[in-house]
Amino acid sequence: MFGLMLLNMRIYLAMFTAIVVYFLFFNSLPFGVAVQRLVAPAQNSTLLAIPFFILLGTLLSHTGVAERILHLANLLVGKFRGGMAMANITMSTLMGGVSASNLADAAMLSKMMVPEMERQGYSRAFAAAVTASGSLVTPIIPPGIALIIYGMVADVSIGRMFMAGILPGLLCAVSLMVAVWLVSVKRGYKPMLKEWPKPRELGRAGVSAWPALLVLVGVVGGIRANIFTPTEAGAAGVVIVAFIGFVIYKKMTLGHVGHALTTTAKSTASIMLVIMASSALAWIFSLEHAGVAMASWISSLTDNKYVFLAAVNILLLLLGMFIEGTALIIVLVPLLKPVMMQMGIDPIHFGLIMILNLSIGTLTPPVGTVMLLVCNITRVTMNEFLKESMALLLALLVALALVTYVPAISLLLT
**pLDDT tens-digit series, residues 186-222:** 988 888 777 888 888 878 877 777 776 777 677 777 7
Kindly state the average pLDDT of the residues 384-405: 95
With a CB cutoff of 8 Å and minimum separation 6, the contacts of 123 are: 388
Percentage with pLDDT > 70 across the chain: 95
Q: Is the pLDDT of residue 69 over 60?
A: yes
Give the model's pLDDT for residue 124: 93
Single out the residue of 353, 352, 392 nearest to residue 370, CA to CA. 392
Give the model's pLDDT for residue 129: 94
Judging by beta carbons within 10 Å of its beta carbon (0-12, 13-18, 19+), is residue 17 exposed, middle or buried? middle
pLDDT band at 291, cuts 50/70/90? low
Give the model's pLDDT for residue 99: 56
Give rounded-to-5 percent helix, strand, coil for the chain. Answer: 80, 0, 20
pLDDT band at 391, cuts 50/70/90? very high
With a CB cutoff of 8 Å and minimum separation 6, the contacts of 402 are: 171, 409
Core vs surface per residue 305-329: b (16+ CB within 10 A) or e = eeebbeebbeebbebbbbbbbbbbb
- Of these ranges, 57-66, 229-238, 402-411, the one predicted with the greatest mean pLDDT is 402-411
The tens digit of pLDDT for each residue in 132-166 reads: 999 888 888 887 888 888 988 888 988 899 889 99
Q: Are 405 and 309 in contact (CB under 8 A)?
A: yes
Q: Are 85 and 130 in contact (CB under 8 A)?
A: yes
- Backbone angle region of 82, left / alpha / beta, with phi > 0 → left and psi within -120 to 50 → alpha: left
| Dihedrals phi, psi of 33, to nearest 5 degrees | -65, -40
Please give the sequence-ordered ranges of beta strands (E in DSSP) within 136-283, or none if there are none: none
Give the model's pLDDT for residue 286: 75
The tens digit of pLDDT for each residue in 82-95 reads: 888 898 898 888 77
DSSP-derived secondary structure for 191-220: PS-SSPPPHHHHHHHHHHTHHHHHHHIIII
Kindly state the average pLDDT of the residues 294-299: 72
Judging by beta carbons within 10 Å of its beta carbon (0-12, 13-18, 19+), is residue 255 exposed, middle or buried? exposed
The tens digit of pLDDT for each residue in 319-331 reads: 887 777 777 888 8
Give the model's pLDDT for residue 367: 67
Angle formed at CA 291 by CA 287 and CA 295, multiple of 5 degrees: 150
Q: Say which residue, 299 or 34, is predicted with more confidence.
A: 34
Q: Is the pLDDT of residue 313 over 60?
A: yes
Instruction: Identify the three-state secondary structure at position 368.
Output: coil
pLDDT band at 349, cuts 50/70/90? very high
Indicate the average pLDDT of the chain: 84
**Residue type at 397 in one-letter notation:** L
pLDDT band at 98, cuts 50/70/90? low
Quote the CA–CA distance of 243 and 228 in Å, as a whole number. Answer: 19
pLDDT band at 355, cuts 50/70/90? very high
Instruction: Identify the three-state secondary structure at position 138.
Output: coil
Give the model's pLDDT for residue 8: 75
Kindly state the average pLDDT of the residues 39-46: 79
Work out the angle between the directed axes of helices 124-135 and 166-187 (0-180°, nearest 10). 170
Q: Is the pLDDT of residue 117 over 80?
A: yes
With a CB cutoff of 8 Å and minimum separation 6, the contacts of 241 are: 56, 59, 60, 63, 98, 215
- Backbone angle region of 229, left / alpha / beta, with phi > 0 → left and psi within -120 to 50 → alpha: beta
Q: Say which residue, 164 or 248, is predicted with more confidence.
A: 164
Give the model's pLDDT for residue 57: 73
Quote the CA–CA distance of 241 and 52 in Å, as a whole number. Answer: 11
How far is the CA of 277 from the CAs of 12, 271, 320, in angstroms? 6, 10, 18
Q: What is the pTM of this model?
A: 0.79
Give the model's pLDDT for residue 320: 80
Radius of gyration of the chain from Cα atoms? 21
Give the model's pLDDT for residue 35: 85
Count CA within 13 A, CB hemisphere, residue 129.
Answer: 27
Give the model's pLDDT for residue 404: 96
Q: Say which residue, 396 or 250, is predicted with more confidence.
A: 396
Q: So where are the chain's domains?
A: 2-411
Cα 15 to chain centroid distance, Å, stands at 22
Q: Say which residue, 408 or 144, is predicted with more confidence.
A: 408
